[in-house]
Amino acid sequence: MLLKIKTLDIEATDYPLVLMHKDDAKFLGVRRLGRVNIKLGDKEFVAVVDLTEKLVNKGEVGLYEYLCNKFDTKCGLNAEVTLASPPDSVHFIKKKLDGNTLAKDEINNIIEDTVENRLSDIELSAFVSAVYTRGLSNEEVINLINSMVNTGQTLNIKRKPIFDKHCIGGVPGNRTTMVVVPILGAAGLTIPKTSSRAISSAAGTTDTMEVLCDVSFHKNEIERIVDKIGCCIVWGGGVDLAIADDKLIKIRNPLGLDPESLLLASILAKKKASGSEKVVIDIPVGKNAKIKDANFARKLARNFITLGERLEMEIKCMITYGEKPIGKGIGPSLEAIDVLKVLSGDGPYDLREKSCEIAGLLFEMGGKAPRGRGKEIAEQMIDSGKALSKFRDIINEQGGNPKVKIEDLPIGSYNHTVKSEIEGRIDFMDTRMINMIARACGAPDDKGAGIFFHVEKGERVKKGQDLFTLYADKETKITNALEILDGSPIGVEKVIYDIVEGELSL
Amino acid sequence: MLLKIKTLDIEATDYPLVLMHKDDAKFLGVRRLGRVNIKLGDKEFVAVVDLTEKLVNKGEVGLYEYLCNKFDTKCGLNAEVTLASPPDSVHFIKKKLDGNTLAKDEINNIIEDTVENRLSDIELSAFVSAVYTRGLSNEEVINLINSMVNTGQTLNIKRKPIFDKHCIGGVPGNRTTMVVVPILGAAGLTIPKTSSRAISSAAGTTDTMEVLCDVSFHKNEIERIVDKIGCCIVWGGGVDLAIADDKLIKIRNPLGLDPESLLLASILAKKKASGSEKVVIDIPVGKNAKIKDANFARKLARNFITLGERLEMEIKCMITYGEKPIGKGIGPSLEAIDVLKVLSGDGPYDLREKSCEIAGLLFEMGGKAPRGRGKEIAEQMIDSGKALSKFRDIINEQGGNPKVKIEDLPIGSYNHTVKSEIEGRIDFMDTRMINMIARACGAPDDKGAGIFFHVEKGERVKKGQDLFTLYADKETKITNALEILDGSPIGVEKVIYDIVEGELSL
């Protein structure tokens, strides 16, 4: 049927959605979230239909602005609208829901349609649910990864072999990337590191690195930097290494669905797209970490390694303690300070240790150190000042001030220190609550906001001793954060809780 | 955070969706399709968030018009927007995805949130996918049905017991309801029949009944009619017998997901809500019917019966032949003509037979006929003219002309008759293609559009004999329908396909 185009000044979805009047849709036989083919002169595309009785009249079809721009179309022109079938990939999603194995072409089809925005939110949700309930075989995961790599950009770094590290996430302050990359770079290894921003934590590597320099670079800029100095620490979102994965994550997040096979595919597709050949994956295990259980972590590690072999990547996994934050500071600037201190041979012991373990393992994998001696070489890179110097090269290449000092970094002008009310030992540090408090202080958007810990887990404290300080740009944010502090994020263990006097009834 | 309200003149979704600027959302820590709490003075509600960089500015929150009306809110006022958690039902959906059994309260929770529009499309899609992949136990289906009944309207008919019939669907022209209801009504039984409109077929019972009288009635009007004359044939969409089911169907349809447990729940919830006590369910089996396989039909029938017992409904199922249309006409008016003819003691044999079988079984279930004698009584109701008289009562009560004659019904003014090109026997009738052609002619919206068959399956035809006639309101629709006719919807079997002359090489 011929419908007059009406431009809608909205861009709410990724896929081509058009609005039709209920009566027209009924006449055409298309239901809500069904599909129509839209023909505009010699251009043609398929769109998903939402229904209205108000925004467009009978005889009109509402096109969102980006579609009009894309097809260079104006209000009032006619479009020929006909009923269209869903893309084949919808059948393949159904096939997976039915518990069948998907062939390579079928997975390719789903991923291509995801990238080209041909699938609606409910279809992508059904795909994520299908993978969650039915799982994917190793063969399917490999095909999924290759599809993701083929539909995205790939980094072409000339310096080989390419090293990489990745953390599954969930530990506040875990900024090992910013220590490992300059250590490797200082030893002449190639590590083009792309990182993410915080989702629910107080800061991601990208948020922290951004305190020191730019992080958004295009593919060719990343290639130039890495070919020049061997390494970088940039935002992965600036280069579409696995655009299909990003689109699936948008559906997985609100549903809270983290199917193991999509987790594996997500990480490995990005590693493969950046050309990684030798990779260490850090899997923190802890009550509030992404992985709660050590047995599952070991199973996941084995899957990483097996899939890595098929993708021609050597992968080693480190299963790490995820029940406490790493470093003293939580929040972009406070974490950057920890990193600068560690690279200067000082700073929090745990951040130095963990980073040197990871860098050391990569040295051993690259044949740069004999087995069991990698960590030593990593420590030498720090103690010789070479790693710090390399870090300043990275800052320089990424447009920051290479001479930056700790005092230059912005710290929230309001602060509040919480003291211990009792004498005892630091028993636990609730990582989830630590993230919540740091976010209430303003992290990661306020770079200087966050928490600084004066004590470590296991340490003995006296009554009245400083436990931690909150930093924020506004006083109200300190107040907000203190409200959350109703339950303490760190627990002081008292040997004797209470003494009950009186006679015992035996 | 405080955001200024901006009213958006759109009503695209059922659930409360608000638009936020990407930066504000990031600051608040809410992602696309996450949730926020919106406080407007003393009113408060939770909404799902979609992101924009354009339609609303930083510092604004875009509310769709119906939300503004609902909360009597104007542009420019401030709303306090805070991060909100997803409703508990999202956890229960995840629980089902994990393969666990849902408790009564958990199912209640999902259904209540569905009815109250607290779940987004992707969440409902995950629920449908979860039920599809994990299935539901009988206990869960019973709880689901009761939740659906409790969250919708129920009919309160005083005349008992209440009879009902239902067809799973998929057979063109299968208008038995319009014959069965007056037969039962003529015998003094109570049957408050609610029907649906066509989805992919040429006409639903509602579309066909609408040729003769009104079909949209409110609950109290239906109760009044049935208490007066014992029966009705109305549109189920006019009374919210299972509003949750309707919302789930909107998600199931575009995904093409028909989980057996949702099919059972959907039908039985509506039967329960209309107070049905004795029900016959017609399960057509055929290549293009909803149920393709007789074994599955038998399993489904057993499930209907078992669940019916738990819901205090006596259910019997008829597994029927679904490989050919029922009656001569396909399309609202043409089907209404078949019905009027059958009720007049004439008309297509198959429609009369099937209707009398169903009505007869209901007579036996209601103790109105000895076992094996029900059909006889049904035939008597027709042959005595009592059923036709009851049908005219129904038309009258539903605002139509009780004296309506077959000649009064609108028939498309354009027609085209297809003749047999060969001599042979009618071998098959492709029900899917028959629906497509009838829809191309304009059915179900053009009441007079459709197909009239001059021959029946199994009948012998001569070359040049009329096979079927297409009817439409516009000539172009006939042309469109003929284009689809590339492969014929009915096949004539030729005994000998070809004779090859010449010498046989032995």
* Contact residues on chain B for A120, CB-CB shorter than 8 A: 254
Locate tokens 């629910």: which residue? A200
Bigger pLDDT: B205 vs B490: B205
Q: For residue A92, give the chain B residue with the closest CA.
A: B255
pLDDT tens readout for residues B421-480: 888 888 888 888 899 899 889 999 899 999 999 998 888 899 999 999 999 999 999 998
- Supply the pLDDT for residue A421: 87
Q: What is the pLDDT of residue A139?
A: 96
Q: Are residues A392 and A417 in the same domain?
A: no
Number of domains in chain A: 4
| DSSP secondary structure letters along B60-109 | EEEEEHHHHHHTT--TT-EEEEEEEPPPHHHHHHHHHHTTPPPPHHHHHH
B201 touches chain A (CB under 8 A): no
Residue A197 lies in a domain: yes
Q: Which residues of A touch B251 (CB under 8 A)?
A: 33, 122
**What's chain A's Rg over C-alpha atoms?**
26
B67 touches chain A (CB under 8 A): no
| pLDDT at residue B503 is higher than 70 | no
Query: Does any domain span residue A80?
Result: yes
pLDDT surpasses 90 at B501? no
Maximum mean pLDDT: which of A76-85, A493-502, B86-95: B86-95
Q: Do the Cβ atoms of A445 and B33 come within 8 Å?
A: no
| Contact across the interface for A256 and B90, Cβ inside 8 Å | yes
A 88-107 residues with CB < 8 A to B: 90, 93-94, 97, 99
Considering the domain boundaries, does residue B441 fall inside one? yes
With a CB-CB cutoff of 8 Å, which residues 18-57 of chain A face chain B? Answer: 19, 26-27, 29, 31-34, 50, 52-55
Kindly determine whether residue B122 and residue A254, on different chains, have CB atoms separated by under 8 Å: yes
Give the nearest chain A residue to B22 (CA atoms): A12
Q: If you average pLDDT over every residue of chain A, what do you get?
A: 90
Catalytic residue selected from A258, A346, A408, A430:
A258
| Chain B touched by A253 (CB under 8 Å) | yes
The answer on pLDDT for A501 being more than 70 is no
How far is residue B255's CA from residue B251's CA, in Å, rounded to a whole number?
Answer: 7
Cβ–Cβ contact A125 with B under 8 A: yes
Whether B101 shows a pLDDT value over 60: the answer reads: yes
Q: Please, what is the angle between helix B374-383 and helix B386-397, to 10°?
A: 70
The confidence score (pLDDT) of residue A240 equals: 87
Closest partner residue to A121 among B19, B52, B121, by Cβ?
A: B121
In terms of domains, do B285 and B184 share one? yes
Composition of chain B by helix, strand, coil, percent to 5 = 40, 20, 40
Q: Do residue A317 and residue A459 come from a single domain?
A: no
Q: How far is B171 from chain A (nearest CA, A)?
A: 18
Same domain as B329, residue B236: yes
Residue B458 belongs to domain with CATH number: 3.90.1170.30
Domain that holds residue A273: 163-397
A9 interfacial to chain B (CB closer than 8 Å): yes
Residue where a domain stops, chosen among A348, A374, A397: A397
Local confidence band at A176 (pLDDT 50, 70, 90 cut-offs): very high
Task: Please indicate, yes or no, if residue A141 is contained in any of the structural domains.
Answer: no
Average pLDDT, chain B: 90
Tell me if A157 is assigned to some domain: no
Radius of gyration of chain B from its Cα atoms, rounded to whole angstroms: 27
Contact at CB, B99 and A133, closer than 8 angstroms = yes
* Residue contact B121–A33, C-beta within 8 A: yes
Question: A354 and A325 in contact (C-beta within 8 Å)?
Answer: no
Weakest-pLDDT range from A12-21, A191-200, A430-439, B496-505: B496-505
- Residues A377, A254 share a domain: yes
Give the nearest partner residue to A50 out of B12, B124, B256, using CB atoms. B12
Residue B226 vs residue A489, higher pLDDT: B226
On the question of a cis peptide bond just before residue B444, with omega within 30 degrees of 0, the verdict is yes
Q: Do A121 and B124 touch (CB under 8 A)?
A: no
B367 reaches A (C-beta below 8 A)? no
| B316-349 tens-digit pLDDT | 999 999 989 999 999 999 999 999 999 999 999 9
Q: Residue A11 is nearest to which of B52, B99, B121, comparing CB atoms?
A: B52
Tell me whether residues B97 and A129 touch, CB distance under 8 A: yes
* Structure confidence at residue A221 (pLDDT): 96
Token digits for B419?
């003749």
pLDDT greater at residue B204 or residue B423: B204
pLDDT tens string A350-397: 999 999 999 999 999 999 999 999 999 999 999 999 999 999 999 999
The whole-number pLDDT of residue B199 equals 75
What pLDDT, on the 0 to 100 scale, is given for residue A63?
A: 82
Q: Given CB atoms, is A367 within the 8 Å cutoff of chain B?
A: no
Among A6-20, A297-311, B74-88, the least confident range? A6-20
Instruction: Tell me, yes or no, whether A356 and A427 share the same domain.
Output: no
User: pLDDT per residue over B71-97, tens digit each?
Assistant: 777 767 888 888 888 889 999 999 999
A248 touches chain B (CB under 8 A): no
Assess if residue A152 is contained within a domain. Answer: no
- Residue A494, pLDDT score: 62
User: Domain check: are A340 and A382 in the same one?
Assistant: yes
**pLDDT value for B268:** 96
Tens digit of each residue's pLDDT (9 = 90 or more) over A81-105:
888 888 899 999 999 999 999 999 9
Inspect the interface and report whether the beta carbons of B133 and A133 lie closer than 8 Å: yes
Is the per-residue pLDDT at B46 higher than 90? Answer: no
Active site residue A72: no
Q: Which residue has the tokens 């055409």?
A: A28
Q: Is residue A454 predicted with pLDDT exceeding 60?
A: yes
**Does B95 fall in a domain?**
yes
CA nearest B89 in A: which residue? Answer: A255
CATH of the domain at A58: 2.40.40.20
Same domain? A21 vs A48? yes
Quick check: A257 and B126 CB within 8 A?
Answer: yes
Among candidates A34, A124, A257 on the partner chain, residue whose Cβ is nearest the Cβ of B254: A34
Query: Cβ contacts (< 8 Å) between A54 and chain B: which residues?
Result: 9, 11, 65
Task: Catalytic residue, from B121, B214, B240, B258: name it.
Answer: B258
Q: Give A-chain residues touching B97 at CB under 8 angstroms.
A: 129, 132-133, 257
Do residues A27 and A126 both lie within one domain?
no
With an 8 Å Cβ cutoff, is B218 touching chain A?
no
Instruction: Determine contact, residues A113/A247, Cβ cutoff 8 Å.
Output: no
Measured CA to CA, the distance from residue A470 to residue A480 in angstroms comes to: 11
CATH number, position A360: 3.40.1030.10
Q: Same domain for A128 and A225?
A: no
Query: Can you tell me the mean pLDDT for A194-222?
Result: 92
In this complex, the residue of A93, A121, A129 whose CB is nearest that of residue B130 is: A129
**Domain closes at, from B373, B397, B421:** B397
Cis peptide before A161 (omega within 30 of 0): yes
**Res. B52 pLDDT band, cuts 50 70 90:** confident
Which of the four pLDDT bands, split at 50, 70 and 90, describes residue B500? low
| pLDDT of the residue at B352 | 96
Q: Give the angle subtended at the CA of A248 by the CAs of A244 and A249, to the nearest 5°.
A: 115
Task: Report the gap between the CA of A344 and the closest CA in chain B (Å).
Answer: 33
Contacts of A254 in chain B (CB under 8 A): 31-34, 86, 120, 122-123
One domain for residues A486 and A449: yes
Is A208 within 8 Å of A339 (Cβ atoms)? yes
**A502 part of contact set with chain B, CB < 8 Å:** no
Provide the CATH number for the domain around residue A105.
Answer: 1.20.970.10
CB contact under 8 A, A12 and B19: yes
Same domain, B355 and B435: no
Q: Distance, in angstroms, between A151 CA and closest chain B CA? A: 23
User: Minimal Cα–Cα distance from A442 to chain B, Å?
Assistant: 8
Cα distance from A402 to chain B (closest Cα, Å)? 29
- Within-domain flag for B148: no
pLDDT in the model for residue B77: 80
A311 touches A299 (CB < 8 A): no
Q: What is the pLDDT of residue A428?
A: 84
pLDDT band of B237, cuts 50, 70, 90 = confident
Amino acid present at B400: G
User: Which of A311-315, B92-96, B236-240, B416-420 is predicted least confidently?
Assistant: B236-240
Mean local confidence (pLDDT), A28-49? 84
- Please give the full DSSP string across B356-384, using - where no structure is assigned: HHHHHHHHHHTTSS-TT-HHHHHHHHHHT
Closest residue in B to A26 (Cα–Cα):
B445
Share of chain B above pLDDT 90, in %: 61
Domain boundary residue among A397, A421, A449?
A397
A58 CB near a chain B CB, below 8 Å?
no
Report whether pLDDT(B252) > 60: yes
